[in-house]
Structure formats: C-alpha cells, structure tokens
Amino acid sequence: MDRPRVTDDMILEAAKQVAARLDGNAEDIAQQYRHPMDGYELAKELERWCSWDVQRSDIDELDSMEYLVRDLHEKAEKQWVAENGITPALAIGAKIKRGTICGVDDHRAAYYLVKENGCTQEGRYLLLKFEVAEADVDAIDATK
C-alpha cells in the first residue's frame, strides 16, 4: 500500500474547522484551497472566485488551513506505518544518492534524517521518505 496523500476529505475536514471560526462556507474554502497554500493566497482566491470580503483577521484564521491539513496528513501517515508494519529498509550510516542516513525522524512517520552530500552545517538534515531513499550502488560496490 502506498503512503497516504493529502485527500479532498482531509481538506474538507480542515475547512469545516476554519469555516466554523469564520462563520463561513467550508465548501468554498475547500474548493479554493491548494496544498500547500498560505492564508493570504487562500483569501485572494476566496475573494476572486467566491465573492468573500476577507478582513486581515480572517487571513490569520485562513492561515491555519495549512497546519490543519498537514496535521491530518501526518496522522494518516502514522496510521499507515502502524497498520502496514513499515520499517526502514536501509541502515543508519548507509550511503544513498543524496547523502548518508543519520537516523530516523522522531516527528514524521517513515522519514530518514539524511546528511546531504557536501553539507557541513551541524544539525542540518534532509527529511527523506523511506520509499524514496535509494542505496548508492557505487558506494556499496566500492566496499567489495
């Protein structure tokens, strides 16, 4: 089973929460929202296509759409990992095309922490989905 993606149902669920706080129409919000999108961009779309009269304070509330959608998506990913027994296929220290696997992210489901090739900045890692990370065949062959 593939990793969950952001769905229309997730967007509508988030839109209902935002609409309740704005006394607005959740369907309008869901229809105009594109993941990822900030509150200002969403406000412009609502004004343009749905004739909303958006105030500055509304933009802050619309900004929460992205957080809510991301939160619902991350919960779906965690459920996917639990239900499907997803585990890392590559070991910590493995060389991959993008760098070296330094760990597994504690906050996102099924993501490696990767120190990118050439990166010297302490504490900076690329988050890479388990299923996207590819072993660096040249590095493996060099050890033989």
Residue-level pLDDT at 144: 44
Cα angle, residue 139 at apex, residues 135 and 143 outer, rounded to 5°: 125
User: What number is the average pLDDT over the span 47-66?
Assistant: 96
Cα–Cα separations (whole angstroms), residue 12 to 50, 58, 81, 88, 100 = 16, 18, 24, 32, 38
User: What number is the average pLDDT over the span 10-20?
Assistant: 98
Q: Where is average pLDDT lowest: 27-36, 46-55, 59-68, 134-143? A: 134-143
Residue-level pLDDT at 1: 82
Residue 139 confidence class, pLDDT cut points 50, 70, 90: low
Check whether 142 has a pLDDT greater than 70.
no
User: What number is the average pLDDT over the span 50-63?
Assistant: 96
Check whether 137 has a pLDDT greater than 70.
no
Residue 114 confidence class, pLDDT cut points 50, 70, 90: very high
